[in-house]
Amino acid sequence: MVCSTHLLSQSLYPSHRANPAAARGHLRFHARPVAVSPSATLGPSPGRRRPLGLRVAASAEQGRRQVEVVYDREAKFNKLADQVDQSAGITRLNLFSPCKINVFLKITGKRPDGFHDLASLFHVISLGDTIKFSLSPSKGKDRLSTNVAGVPVDESNLIIKALNLYRKKTGTENFFWIHLDKKVPTGAGLGGGSSNAATALWAANQFSGCIASEKDLQEWSGEIGSDIPFFFSQGAAYCTGRGEIVEDIRNPLPANLPMVLIKPPEACSTAEVYKRLRLKHTSQTDPLALLKEITENGISQDACVNDLEPPAFEVLPSLKKLKKRIIAANRGDYNAVFMSGSGSTIVGIGAPDPPAFVYDDDEYKDAFVSGLFIFPIPAFIFFISIQSKSVGPETATRGG
């Protein structure tokens, strides 16, 4: 910050020199600091005019002319901060990358391209990963690390695919060091990798000065994963097509609705699940009727249909056993018990506490168990910690 004496000289001396008569008079200049509110913000406040940098009051006192100059430090500081904000780039980002559940999942047909059409209510939950992005000093390669063994860190990872996609679409040349702190289990049907990819696209856009709109990012993301576009929604959406057609749904579930996730160590192969799918054996319920039932009357076992459960239970019979045991142990705590996505996570909606057998039975000693909740809408956000080149750490939030 430029010192106040220098700022004062910058503002006063030219006009002083331009008025020799004033110089011959007995002028007294009083630089009186104006207190800066502790809550003053660095950035500009839209719609609010800033006070002038200087206030000048003239008065006569015992035949002598007196000029009082009041230096408004807050206005000058805000002006300088605005200039810094315009020129400073981001060098680091820490982002929260939430996962999702499929409250219901209907498979509606087979497409000519080999994919399946679906209709599903997606909703983000409070479980998620943390991803740290830093600009790489070198050009030509991203570097990804993670806390979980077995997670790929090469170009097969959706984070790297997303960064490559962003550079291809925008012509930018930023490369990154990324650390993925993984909390969402892999092969769980929770969309952890898809969320990571959406987060990477959004981060790359921030580093590049937001040259793409979020609508652009959402449309591009469908090229590398069907579930990724959802993570540019407001947190709850009715998804159709391959999953890339996203319609925001406001408040389909009560805020902070508790749930429990239980995932056995085994994962379900999505490709194998779809391979075993038989369309003639899927539920005949209209997905829009399911959506209406849930939004009007809440969660129920009948409404939480997942057409991928039967083929997933063929692939992993122990998963069918787990769901049956949870339902049998339910003493009215859960409104519904169902599988998310293509598995292998079983969700119990209505209570955060898993049944006792999960802890008592050695069969589940290596299972992933978590009590959490539905994100309230519109509180779905990426939590961000920003550090730019010229200003200190700043906290911000991003709407979904």
Active site residues: 100, 227
Whole-angstrom Cα distance, residue 368 to residue 260? 10
DSSP E strand stretches across the chain: 54-61, 64-71, 90-110, 116-135, 143-146, 176-181, 236-240, 245-248, 258-263, 336-339, 346-349, 368-373, 381-388, 394-399
Whole-angstrom Cα distance, residue 351 to residue 340? 17
CA atoms within 13 A on the CB side of 121: 22
Task: List strands edge to edge, sheet with 336-339.
Answer: 336-339, 346-349, 258-263, 368-373
Report the amino acid identity of residue 303: A
Q: Are 341 and 105 in contact (CB under 8 A)?
A: yes
Reported residue count of the chain is 400
Query: Nearest Cα to 64, choosing from 31, 27, 30?
Result: 27
Within the chain, residue ranges assigned H as helices are: 4-17, 20-24, 73-87, 158-170, 192-207, 214-221, 270-275, 287-297, 309-315, 317-329, 357-360
Using CB atoms within 10 A of its CB, is residue 326 exposed (0-12), middle (13-18) or buried (19+)?
Answer: buried
